[in-house]
Amino acid sequence: MIASRRNFLKGASLASVPFILPSKIWAAETKPNDKLSMAFIGMGIQARGLLNNFLHQDVTVVAICDVDKTRREDGVKRVDGFYKGHADKGTPGNCKSYSDFREVIARKDIDMVCVATPDHWHAYISIAAMKSGKDVYCEKPLTYTINEATAVMDAAKKYNRILQTGAMQRSAFEFRSAAEIVRNGGIGKITHVDCNFGGPSRPHFDPKEDIVMEPGLDFNMWCGGAPLVKYNDKLAPRGVHTFYPMVWRMDDLFGSGYCGDWGAHHLDIAQWGLGMDDSGPVKVTKAVPSAKEKANAAYGGRAQSGAVLEFGNGVKLTHKPFSTFGTVFYGTEGTVSVNRGKFEMKHGDELISRFTKKEDGGSLAGAVTKARKAFLTDSTYKTKLYKTKGGHPADFVTCVKSRKKACSNEVVGARAAVLCHLCNISYVRDSGFDWNPAKNIFANGTGNKNWLTREGGYRGKWSV
Ligand SMILES: NC(=O)c1ccc[n+]([C@@H]2O[C@H](COP(=O)([O-])OP(=O)(O)OC[C@H]3O[C@@H](n4cnc5c(N)ncnc54)[C@H](O)[C@@H]3O)[C@@H](O)[C@H]2O)c1
């Protein structure tokens, strides 16, 4: 009897899969009615985009979970609508909606989950899913705290699961090229890096007036391990919204400000270019808040930029405000600057190529390719970085099948999250400190271990 691929993936010694399975078994196993089945947990604006992408992959979406009834029902409608027009991909009516993610995770027939809740839920749900044998695509930042980052790495290893973090800049040509040019010495020895994004998280404030909650939201479950705060329709907006909710992202209790929002992308690219994916900084120097920043009570009197993360090789990474480019590498021989759809390389005094907008003339691909051709030649192109095929979600599906580490695997995602949180902590605690990247703990008697976890502990049974 041929074991089903699903059971095989769950039970086998996964490292040995490609070597012991004859290819004809794989072929028999990939018939459409035994596709990998997938669930979505959190069906907000980001998940809708991901759903649209995953529906076109070699998976069948069988469950949509959201604590908001409107959104989970809308998600199921989208799945059914898609399968009506794509009978080869799935059957309308087979996708179920759930309010409680534990019921989804308990389903044995589900192979993989996409976690796109607010950040404070990422680690708990991802770990629970991996524990029950599911592979996980989890949005960035992978975790809400540093200790959670360690726990997610440990869980992926312990349960032998595939994890992809949604830091999809790693799947984009301009970012991979920037990192490859830097890694292969295109701008000489790296001296420093700038990462440009907005400020840290802010203190939580309840709304002054009571806000009546429209029925259909389990707000207790929305808050999860965070304190059960007063309902706020800005924090947890209702309906099928077409904007990215910023209030929870900027709130100490649920997110880590722009450090976790955009930092999770631009700091991640910095780590890639520096070759620090399995390491991290050794020292964080705090920024001194200006008088204006100090006076801003809504922002907690916190500095909004200027923290410096220093790596063991002496390279300093500075957090600066939003700018044209997200990550800028400075080397002894030039600079490489990159953002979504934007790229620039300078070598000495020479501008090698630049594209930031149509008015610059040329194209992004043209600018990137010109720099690649000049600086990634047969003799210099030694370090080739992970190149995804078909994008980040497709890479996840490929890795679920091959059991190989994904592009933004648990180590990459957790390490990037640690950078986000180190940066955010330095503003929130108005403190600099030494860091031990091997153990993910403060070093040399600096810092405070309570900063590595949720302040005041987790609520109820949602401890990570
Ligand atoms: N990769 C990217 O570029 C990118 C872009 C945007 C957002 N994101 C990330 O995606 C995630 C979601 O962001 P968003 O903007 O879609 O937020 P959102 O608030 O629109 O969506 C989150 C959804 O999760 C639901 N939810 C909350 N608790 C839940 C629980 N316990 N179980 C099930 N559902 C729950 C909410 O009701 C909401 O519908 C965040 O982590 C964010 O950082 C990534």
State the pLDDT at residue 83.
Answer: 98
Position 357 scores a pLDDT of 96
Tally the C-alpha atoms within 13 A of residue 375's C-alpha that lie toward its C-beta.
Answer: 28
**Tens-digit pLDDT profile for residues 127-141:** 999 999 999 999 999
Residue 43 CA to ligand 1 center (angstroms) comes to 7
| CA of residue 244 to ligand 1 center, whole Å | 9
- pLDDT digit string, tens, across residues 215-258: 999 999 999 999 999 999 999 999 999 999 999 999 999 999 99
Residue 361 CA to ligand 1 center (angstroms) comes to: 37
- The Å distance, Cα 408 to ligand 1 centre, comes to 18
State how far the Cα of 338 lies from the Cα of 196, in Å rounded to an integer.
11
For 68, how many CA atoms within 13 A lie in the half-sphere containing its CB?
21
Name the pTM for this structure. Answer: 0.93
Distance 221 CA to ligand 1 centre (A): 14
Length of the chain (residues): 464
Domain ranges of the chain: 5-169+392-414, 172-382+420-464
What is the mean predicted confidence (pLDDT) over 77-103?
97
CA separation for the pair 166, 159 (Å, rounded):
20
CA atoms of 158 and 235, how far apart (whole Å): 35
Report whether residue 245 contacts ligand 1, using a CB cutoff of 6 Å: yes
CATH topology (fold) of 172-382+420-464: Dihydrodipicolinate Reductase; domain 2 (3.30.360)
Of 329, 196, 352, residue with least CA distance to 259: 196
- Return the DSSP state at 298: G
In ligand 1, which atom is closest to the CA atom of 222?
28
Q: Is the CB of 168 under 6 A from ligand 1?
A: yes
Q: Which amino acid is residue 457, in one-letter code? A: G
Q: Is the CB of 166 under 6 A from ligand 1?
A: yes
Please report the pLDDT score of residue 35 as a whole number: 86
In the prediction, which pLDDT does 6 show?
A: 52
pLDDT tops 70 at residue 62: yes
Give, for ligand 1, the residue of 51, 52, 54, 66 to mutate: max count of ligand atoms closer than 8 Å to Cβ.
66
| Res 390 pLDDT > 60 | yes
Residue 176's contacts (CB-CB under 8 Å, 6 or more residues apart) are: 170, 385, 386, 387
Q: How much of the chain exceeds pLDDT 90, in percent?
A: 92
Evaluate whether 327 touches 193 at the Cβ level (below 8 Å).
yes
CATH code of the domain made up of 5-169+392-414: 3.40.50.720
Q: Read off the pLDDT of each residue in 52-61 and give the average, rounded to a whole number.
A: 97
Nearest-angstrom CA–CA distance, 428 and 299: 10
Mean pLDDT of 430-435: 98
Whether the CB of 268 sits within 6 Å of ligand 1: no
Taking only the tens place, the pLDDT of each residue in 246-292 is 999 999 999 999 999 999 999 999 999 999 999 999 999 999 999 99
Beta partners for residue 435, in sequence order = 442
